[in-house]
Structures are given as structure tokens and as C-alpha cells.
Structure 1
Amino acid sequence: METKKATIKREELHTYLVLEVGDTPIQITLTDDNPNNVKSVFNLILKGLKKGLFEFKLEDENSDLFNNICVEYLNQLNTEMKSIHEELVEYELTENE
């Protein structure tokens, strides 16, 4: 299983969870409620899962609330991704390389 990098991008007005999926990193805004952003991120993750199972590992030095949130978020996301990938394999929806 491949491990992909996740980081936290802290800016003055917003904070993001940045996931390395494909060529372009994708961001989930942690300081704003935007379901469309989360939906588009999950669509990109689903496309990646069709190519093979992977998980995210957080690379962050800070020990703050955002770090705690992201650790828990990624634990749940990795569990869900494993389950979804198993279903993709079961229904033969993966891409054979």
C-alpha cells in the first residue's frame, strides 16, 4: 500500500488540510463549512483509489487543535478508503495497470 503525504497549511484567515493526490495537491478548508469542497476532494480520492489502495500520513510539527483534528480526520478517512477500495475490487471497478 502506498502512503501519501498530508500537511496542514496555516494562513492568517484560513487553515487547510492538504492531501497529495495525483499531480496537484488538494485542500480541505478546516476553518469554513463548504460541503462542495469536501465533495470534490472525495471525488478525486475515489479516482485515485481506482488505481490502487493508499493511505494518508500527516506530516506536521505543531501540536495544536488543527493537528489533533487532522490526525483524527485522517484515521477515519484511511479506514473509509480501505473499505471503499475493497468494494471497488469486489465490483471490478479498479483500473488494471
Structure 2
Amino acid sequence: MATHNATIERKDNNAILKLALGETQLDIVLTEDKPNDVKTVFNKLLEELKSGEFDFNLTDEKEDLYFHICKEYITQLNAELKSTYKELQDNGLLKTE
């Protein structure tokens, strides 16, 4: 299983959770309520999951509120990715080389 990096970018009044998938970077803006943007990120994660199981590891230098929120978010995301991968596998929906 591959492990990808997750980081938090803070600037001005914004905080963004950045999920790195190789060359691709997916952003979830934590300071805005844009559910469609979050759905788009999850759809991309689902597509990537069809090619192989992976999870995320959060690295950050600050232990502020955003860190603790993102840490819990990543924990939940990793559990969902694992569960979804198993469902894809059980239903024969994984991409074969």
C-alpha cells in the first residue's frame, strides 16, 4: 500500500488541506463551505483507488486547531479509503494492469 503526504497550507485567513497523489495535488479548503469541491476531490480519490490501495500521512509543523481537525479528517479518510478499496475489490471494480 502506498502512503501519500497530506499537508496544511495557511495563508491570510485561509487554510487548505493539500493531498499529494504523485504529480497530482488535491486541495480541500478548510475555511470555506464548498461541498461540491469536496465531492470533486473524493471522486478523484475514488478513481485513483481503483488503481491500488493508498492512504495519507499528515505532516505539519504547527499543532494548532487546523492540525487537530486535519489529523482527525485524515484518520477518517484513511478508514474510508480502506473500506472503499475492499468494496471495489469485492465487486471486481479494480483496474487490472
Same fold per superposition (TM over 0.5): yes
5+ residue gaps in structure 2? none
Cross-structure match for 1:17: 17
* Secondary structure class of the residue paired with 1:45: helix
Amino-acid identity (%)? 47
**Runs of 4+ more than 3 Å apart:** none
**TM-score normalised to the size of structure 2?**
0.96
Q: Which amino acid aligns with 2:70?
A: C
Q: Which amino acid aligns with 1:7?
A: T
Trace 1:24-63 onto structure 2 (pairs within 5 A). Answer: 24-63=24-63
Q: Kindly tell me the number of residue pairs found equivalent between the two proteins.
A: 97
* Secondary structure class of the residue paired with 1:44: helix
| CA offsets 1:8-58 (integer angstroms, 9 cap, x no match) | 011103110000124220100000110011000000000110000000000
**Structure with greater strand percent:** 2
**TM-score normalised to the size of structure 1?**
0.96
